[in-house]
A and B are shown apart, each in its own frame.
Chain A
């Protein structure tokens, strides 16, 4: 057999479908104790006794209607691709609900196998299942599996192989009792127009009677519009008549009959399993979800995440940074050597790339810890409880209880990354809330925003640092909630919504392997996605900062200064024992030798490795060595070293000036200047504009760019904080400017990697553009207001921040209050309506 056998895995959420898929195919797929991990289809191949199989993991669905995205994805696949075998994964501990889906699959006429999963849990709950009896009653093979332990794999593979060969019988036809004549009527009408229909007409007739919109669309695909119209009209009339006659809608009746069938199947086959007494989960919940203990427990959890991943994680980066520095050295060694004034492009570009990558990789330890902690939250079952606790608050602002995970990943208080955050929005079943979450996540404190905050706080708010940090970290949440509310009542108004119905899975102990695997997976996605995009953008930003470059005139000027410096050095070296080293040919190697040595010394930690550096450099060039490290008592060497140091100092400052001039003239510099008329209201001069523009590539580059732009003068060994402070304060800037910058940065568009993720998750470039334009306008408006008003009224930075914070908080409370009122009103209306329906039904 050469043809690949197509196997679809269908099942309800939390039935262990993804785990079983991994067992079946050996693939490593993301598995979580958090409903809705799979929305996309996942593919995996395996071979078994000579045949090759393509397994498709469908999104978890409770049923196969067309109401949600997952169900549509799953159903469309089953309809259009017609898998050779459908493996229906069911939760053995919850058969009554699971079998509802089984019935629907069988009604579709799919060649099915029942994988009775989680049989261990069922046993533990005292549920006894007569497997042979179940198979007989349902008329299909039943395989017992425990996905989490990998048992039942070979059985399952064998049964799939056998099943693929047999021609399965007719679709299941359960007795719909009073609906039967109606079904027959529609079936007849369909049968006339659609001969080559691959689906059972009975299934199709039922969907039409349920007024299923996708079924109607499918009908239009196969028959002429006129015929489709006739049939749809007929179905509608019949369904209406049925409702009048029986007092129950067709779809309610269908569900009731299916449930009746399921109960008849289970009768005598399944025993026990009533949840008698109090389960352990319930006992934990009694404490964890207690009105008073819940908030405390939640705050403690978030605090622990912050402390362990961010605070301790940062300490860990002190140990990992040397590895990255070593890597930079390695690359630097491979690249062509630096010139005296101008470096080869390939060198600058290469190092720029490595630096960009390193800033990113520096966060890896933090993310590993953060993602591991979040995996523990998910697997333990507590994440679903967090959603349960916070749903009311989040819902009031257009979000969803399940927005919690994306927001935490994005870095609520602690710092995170919007890329995995936006990816995690997949699990939110309510589309409007999902979209709102996608736009809210980038407002969170991404880790890369922190360096700029730290920088600005270090300059302008030394005394109020902790207060400012508190403002910044909590204000992001306020802004995110306000923005999502704003979007929900405006641009997202028309999006589909669905109710909050979420399973609260039983608590269980996360496994070390599972947690580590997920943490690695998410971190890897971060490195891969962010890495590739940041690298690409780094090249663009580099180019835009480099070109068009310096004018010929200034190049000549700088060169003249360079030659002068060399001449001075050579003059000083005259008569020195080492004078021969100062020959024209030797200058560049000597300078590079010196700077390499100094950098190696800086990277070396401890006396031992410092000595090792000495040895290495002595070996590399014994002639040059006395100039960088004068032998004891060798006065001439010391003088020569001093002269060399002066030369290098002069070279450094010339190069710095060149760089500044290059950036000033660069494309990005031009853009920065051209938008100055707009940004001046927010207090941003062109230098700040350039930094903010370049931060679009990756946030952390804002600090690096500021570092270049606010360069230090010769011999002034000041930190960037001091330099920026001196320059901006001299230019009349105050802490107010810092506040304006912080606010802008907090609201500023997501970095490029995030916007790409927005595109992936929303499936639209339009939304991606929106994710860029909207925050930019918002940020600029807020910053301009703050700066202009603050300047006019002479309000200090910290006061302004307090004003902004309190106004935002007040607005949040007002909005929350108003939507609570609205909710209450609509609940009352609904109540009245239900009374009305009953009165109608009674008539």
Chain B
């Protein structure tokens, strides 16, 4: 995993916030801490889980996701802390 990032950290990191509706991605890691991180994990946003971005709210924030069998919504602020890779 370490080798995928050049040491200067210049690569564009993809977060859940960058994903267009209709796309499916896989959770890589969390950049949040404490209760925020726990909440995201609780919802099923665990590393290696596949996520489908369903849609954005009418005002563009929050976004709706499909995880396994449930739909959850998440603010962009938190979505931006979840690193993902395209499937």
Binds B, one of A352-360, A498-506, A687-695: A498-506
Chain A CB count within 10 A is highest, among B1, B36, B46, for B46
B85 to chain A, nearest CB (A): 13
A86 to chain B, nearest CB (A): 19
Q: Does the CB pair B74–A500 fall under 8 Å?
A: yes
Chain A positions within 8 Å of B42 at CB level: 62-63, 100
Q: Does the CB pair A498–B36 fall under 8 Å?
A: yes
1/0 per residue B38-59: CB within 8 Å of A? 1111111011110000110111
Task: Given the known inter-chain contacts A97-B44, A256-B47, please indicate yes or no for A842 contacting B9, CB distance below 8 A.
Answer: yes
Chain B positions within 8 Å of A291 at CB level: 58
B34 to chain A, nearest CB (A): 7
How many angstroms between the C-alpha atoms of A833 and B80 in the bound complex?
11
Task: Given the known inter-chain contacts A499-B39, A500-B78, A835-B13, please indicate yes or no for A256 contacting B46, CB distance below 8 A.
Answer: yes
How many angstroms between the C-alpha atoms of A254 and B57 in the bound complex?
33
Q: Does the CB pair A282–B54 fall under 8 Å?
A: yes
* Among B2, B39, B40, B55, contact of A841 (Cβ-Cβ < 8 Å): B2
Chain B positions within 8 Å of A401 at CB level: 62, 73
Q: Does the CB pair A503–B71 fall under 8 Å?
A: yes
* Among B34, B74, B83, contact of A834 (Cβ-Cβ < 8 Å): B83
Indicate if A168 sits at the interface (CB-CB under 8 A).
Answer: no
1/0 per residue A147-160: CB within 8 Å of B? 00000000000000
Q: Does the CB pair B77–A499 fall under 8 Å?
A: yes
* Among A63, A389, A429, contact of B58 (Cβ-Cβ < 8 Å): A389
A118 to chain B, nearest CB (A): 11
How many angstroms between the C-alpha atoms of A520 and B16 in the bound complex?
43
Indicate if A247 sits at the interface (CB-CB under 8 A).
Answer: yes
Q: Does the CB pair B40–A289 fall under 8 Å?
A: no
Indicate if B31 sits at the interface (CB-CB under 8 A).
Answer: yes
Chain A positions within 8 Å of B32 at CB level: 499
Determine the main DSSP class of A at the interface with B. Answer: helix
Task: Given the known inter-chain contacts A252-B29, A499-B74, A841-B2, please indicate yes or no for A96 contacting B68, CB distance below 8 A.
Answer: yes
Task: Given the known inter-chain contacts A500-B75, A501-B43, A503-B70, please indicate yes or no for A841 contacting B60, CB distance below 8 A.
Answer: no
Chain B positions within 8 Å of A273 at CB level: 69
Chain B positions within 8 Å of A704 at CB level: none
Task: Given the known inter-chain contacts A255-B41, A281-B71, please indicate yes or no for A837 contacting B57, CB distance below 8 A.
Answer: no
Chain A positions within 8 Å of B39 at CB level: 62, 67-68, 429, 498-499, 501
How many angstroms between the C-alpha atoms of A282 and B72 in the bound complex?
12
Residue of B nearest to A496 (CB): B35
Which residues of B8-45 have CB atoms within 8 Å of chain A's CB atoms?
A: 8-9, 11, 13, 15, 29-32, 34-44
Residue of B nearest to A97 (CB): B44
Task: Given the known inter-chain contacts A67-B35, A255-B46, please indicate yes or no for A501 contacting B2, CB distance below 8 A.
Answer: no
How many angstroms between the C-alpha atoms of A823 and B76 in the bound complex?
11
* Among A63, A502, A831, contact of B72 (Cβ-Cβ < 8 Å): A502
Chain A positions within 8 Å of B73 at CB level: 388, 391, 401, 500-504
Chain B positions within 8 Å of A97 at CB level: 43-44, 67-68, 70
How many angstroms between the C-alpha atoms of A63 and B67 in the bound complex?
17
Residue of A nearest to B61 (CB): A392
Chain A positions within 8 Å of B54 at CB level: 282, 285
Q: Does the CB pair B70–A94 fall under 8 Å?
A: yes
Chain B positions within 8 Å of A839 at CB level: 5, 7-9
Residue of B nearest to A14 (CB): B70
Q: Does the CB pair B58–A289 fall under 8 Å?
A: yes
* Among A125, A393, A501, A505, contact of B40 (Cβ-Cβ < 8 Å): A501
Chain B CB count within 10 A is highest, among A290, A291, A842, for A842
Indicate if A395 sits at the interface (CB-CB under 8 A).
Answer: yes
Chain A CB count within 10 A is highest, among B32, B36, B42, B73, for B42
Residue of B nearest to A823 (CB): B77
Residue of B nearest to A292 (CB): B58
Indicate if A294 sits at the interface (CB-CB under 8 A).
Answer: yes
Indicate if A117 sits at the interface (CB-CB under 8 A).
Answer: no
Indicate if A548 sits at the interface (CB-CB under 8 A).
Answer: no
Task: Given the known inter-chain contacts A401-B62, A499-B75, A831-B80, please indicate yes or no for A842 contacting B7, CB distance below 8 A.
Answer: yes
Chain A positions within 8 Å of B46 at CB level: 255-256, 259
Residue of A nearest to B46 (CB): A259
State the total of A-B contacts with C-beta under 8 angstroms: 161
A583 to chain B, nearest CB (A): 79
Task: Given the known inter-chain contacts A67-B38, A282-B54, A842-B5, please indicate yes or no for A501 contacting B68, CB distance below 8 A.
Answer: no
How many angstroms between the C-alpha atoms of A135 and B43 in the bound complex?
24
Residue of A nearest to B41 (CB): A255
Indicate if A838 sits at the interface (CB-CB under 8 A).
Answer: yes
How many angstroms between the C-alpha atoms of A259 and B27 in the bound complex?
14
Indicate if A295 sits at the interface (CB-CB under 8 A).
Answer: yes
Chain B positions within 8 Å of A395 at CB level: 75
Chain B positions within 8 Å of A831 at CB level: 80
* Among B9, B41, B47, B74, contact of A838 (Cβ-Cβ < 8 Å): B9
Q: Does the CB pair B75–A393 fall under 8 Å?
A: no
* Among A68, A247, A823, contact of B35 (Cβ-Cβ < 8 Å): A68
Chain B positions within 8 Å of A837 at CB level: 31
B26 to chain A, nearest CB (A): 13
How many angstroms between the C-alpha atoms of A67 and B29 in the bound complex?
20
A281 to chain B, nearest CB (A): 7
Task: Given the known inter-chain contacts A275-B69, A500-B62, A834-B81, please indicate yes or no for A67 contacting B34, CB distance below 8 A.
Answer: yes
Chain B positions within 8 Å of A674 at CB level: none
Which residues of A383-400 have CB atoms within 8 Å of chain B's CB atoms?
A: 388-389, 391-393, 395
Chain A positions within 8 Å of B36 at CB level: 498-499
Indicate if A619 sits at the interface (CB-CB under 8 A).
Answer: no
Residue of A nearest to B77 (CB): A827
How many angstroms between the C-alpha atoms of A841 and B30 in the bound complex?
13
Chain B CB count within 10 A is highest, among A67, A395, A499, A834, for A499
* Among B9, B35, B55, B72, contact of A498 (Cβ-Cβ < 8 Å): B35
Residue of B nearest to A92 (CB): B69
How many angstroms between the C-alpha atoms of A498 and B80 in the bound complex?
15
How many angstroms between the C-alpha atoms of A840 and B6 in the bound complex?
11
How many angstroms between the C-alpha atoms of A292 and B59 in the bound complex?
10
Which residues of A761-806 have CB atoms within 8 Å of chain B's CB atoms?
A: none
How many angstroms between the C-alpha atoms of A256 and B64 in the bound complex?
24
Indicate if A65 sits at the interface (CB-CB under 8 A).
Answer: yes
Indicate if A18 sits at the interface (CB-CB under 8 A).
Answer: no
Residue of B nearest to A262 (CB): B46
Q: Does the CB pair B13–A838 fall under 8 Å?
A: yes
B33 to chain A, nearest CB (A): 9
Q: Does the CB pair B71–A391 fall under 8 Å?
A: no
Q: Does the CB pair B47–A252 fall under 8 Å?
A: yes
* Among A62, A275, A285, contact of B55 (Cβ-Cβ < 8 Å): A285
Chain B positions within 8 Å of A392 at CB level: 57, 59-62
Q: Does the CB pair B69–A94 fall under 8 Å?
A: yes
How many angstroms between the C-alpha atoms of A136 and B59 in the bound complex?
48
Q: Does the CB pair B80–A841 fall under 8 Å?
A: no
Chain B positions within 8 Å of A842 at CB level: 2, 5-7, 9
How many angstroms between the C-alpha atoms of A65 and B35 in the bound complex?
9
Chain A positions within 8 Å of B74 at CB level: 499-501
Q: Does the CB pair B75–A62 fall under 8 Å?
A: no
How many angstroms between the C-alpha atoms of A290 and B36 in the bound complex?
28
How many angstroms between the C-alpha atoms of A498 and B37 in the bound complex?
10
* Among A62, A247, A388, A834, contact of B62 (Cβ-Cβ < 8 Å): A388
* Among B30, B37, B57, B68, contact of A94 (Cβ-Cβ < 8 Å): B68
Chain A positions within 8 Å of B1 at CB level: 247
Q: List 14 A-B contacts (CB under 8 A).
A: A67-B35, A94-B69, A251-B38, A259-B49, A273-B69, A275-B68, A282-B54, A285-B64, A289-B55, A393-B59, A502-B73, A504-B64, A841-B5, A843-B7
A-B residue pairs, 8 tightest by C-beta:
A839-B9, A62-B42, A67-B35, A504-B71, A842-B5, A294-B58, A392-B59, A499-B78
**Other 5 A-B pairs with CB < 8 A, given A388-B64, A830-B77:** A247-B2, A256-B46, A393-B59, A500-B62, A500-B75
Q: Chain B interface (Cβ within 8 Å of chain A)?
A: 1-2, 5-9, 11, 13, 15, 29-32, 34-44, 46-49, 54-55, 57-62, 64, 66-78, 80-81, 83
